[in-house]
Structure 1
Amino acid sequence: MTLQEVKSLASKGEGLKIEFKKKAAHPEKIVRELIAFANTSGGVLMIGVDDDGTVSGQRFIEEEVYVMEKAIRELIFPELSYELFTFSLNPKKGVAVFKVEFSPDRPHYLKENKKKQSYIRVADRSVQASMEVWEILRRGKSPKDMVFTYGRKEEVLLKALEENQKITLKEYSKLAKIPKFLASRTLVRLVLANVLKIHPQESEDYFTLKNQEV
């Protein structure tokens, strides 16, 4: 990666695969962006770039890199692979780029306060992954033919989707009159079987039939 490529990427603005940070303040929060990239479709985190995409640089960029790498080592599990690029803009300022690929070791998570919190990318934001997304990430690493029985609860679900196009976990649980854990298991299984598609959201995920426009 070259400095010219960095400026070109920055000019496109933040999005699914690009995140800007002026400096590495609160690295324990910034690593969430790297986790989200690794769990979703890869991406680049730029340190020393303004919110508007201006590559203005940051003083003592080596210190910014140091605190970020320390946070990556100590807070992200399993271990996250990344590429690091640093560039000098002038004798005082530089920019750093952390590039992360869609990880074969997903789901990665943030280990903080004895909790396991995973994140995914939704548009230009990194949001906490639901239990369903976590399970799909985990089991989707080794795709295989899914065998499931088509019973009343599946029939209720598919009929509801034909009528309303999308459904949430809560709505499905209530409609099928089944516990949430069973509704969750059914939805995850049908996503893995390529019958449904999950649409992660900041508030509540929803599900649609595969290839259905909503």
Structure 2
Amino acid sequence: MDYAKLERTLSLGDVQRLADIGEGQFIEFKRRVPDARRLAKEVVAFANSNGGHVLIGVNDAGNVVGLRDAHEEIYALSEALESHCYPRVHYTLERVEIAKRREVVVIKVPESEGKPHYVIEPDEPMRRTAYVRVRDMSIEASREARRLMRTGTDSNVKFEFGDKELLLMRYLDEYQRITVAQFARLADIPSKRASHTLVLLTRAELLQLHPDPAGDYFTLARNRAA
């Protein structure tokens, strides 16, 4: 458990407050321990985004019901995450007693400095999928999202601002958002080049990428739009 720490810092009141907030960008509920791949998907999505908590022993309605003999699940949880997450994700596990022999297991996942992380199949390590957190969902990360995870942003990134970039900015001034496919059609360029341009302008902090279940889109960066 090199990548997991077992802590006891949360109280029942803390768990109840998290449950009261409800599922969303930073919180996921599980009534019972899910299968390894499903659990890895939630943890990877939080690590690739802004971090979050997985509460095991809380149902979809936000009721804190707990697990019986949760200590038996800790080892299996750790093994599942370490075998299905690549690179391995740093996280903490906490057991919070809510009644005699009933506990909630809280997995706290910080935003990772080593993203993107992927969910893998132990027997097929080349089959891997990255996920990100969007509201109360963990969705597959797009090619553009993965590229930005690897490179990050830098306002000093150099690029050539030509006619197609000017066309893009005018479009965003009028319509606020654009997808890779829309930009490719607008500028009459291949999708690969459209993707590269949008990612480059996002790296330069002129645009902002918004992952979305219906398809990622780009907007002007908040500081520029203001």
Aligned match for 2:89, one of 80, 85, 98: 80
Aligned match for 1:136, one of 145, 148, 153: 148
Aligned match for 1:122, one of 108, 120, 134: 134
Matched with 1:205 is 216
CA distance in 2, matches of 1:23, 1:31: 14
CA contact (8 A) 2:36 2:84 kept: no
Q: Which moved more, 1:144-153 or 1:184-193?
A: 144-153
Superposition deviation, residue 179 in structure 1: 0.8
Aligned CA-pair RMSD: 1.5
Q: Flag structure 2 segments of 5+ consecutive residues without an equivalent.
A: 1-9
- The within-5 A match list for 1:1-214 is 1-112=10-121, 113=124, 114-140=126-152, 143=154, 145-211=156-222, 212=225
- Once the two structures are aligned, what percentage of the paired residues are identical? 38
CA distance in 2, matches of 1:72, 1:92: 25
Cα separation, partners in 2 of 1:125 and 1:152, compared to 1, 3 Å: same
Residue deviations 1:167-191 (CA, integer Å, cap 9, x gap): 1110101111111111001000101
CA distance in 1, matches of 2:191, 2:72: 47
Letter in structure 2 aligned against 1:14: E
Superposition deviation, residue 144 in structure 1: 6.1
Q: Structure 2-normalised TM-score?
A: 0.89
Residue deviations 1:56-107 (CA, integer Å, cap 9, x gap): 1012312332322111110101111111110222333211001011111111
Instruction: Count residues with an aligned counterpart.
Output: 212
Matched with 2:3 is none
CA contact (8 A) 1:57 1:95 kept: yes
- Residue 99 of structure 2 aligns to a residue whose secondary structure is coil
- Residue 218 of structure 2 aligns to a residue whose secondary structure is strand
Superposition deviation, residue 159 in structure 1: 1.7
Letter in structure 2 aligned against 1:111: I
CA contact (8 A) 2:39 2:81 kept: no
Q: Flag structure 1 segments of 5+ consecutive residues without an equivalent.
A: none
Cα separation, partners in 2 of 1:63 and 1:144, compared to 1, 3 Å: farther
Superposition deviation, residue 125 in structure 1: 0.9
Q: Which moved more, 1:22-31 or 1:186-195?
A: 22-31
- Residue 118 of structure 1 aligns to a residue whose secondary structure is strand
CA contact (8 A) 1:77 1:108 kept: yes
CA distance in 2, matches of 1:106, 1:65: 25
CA distance in 2, matches of 1:116, 1:178: 30
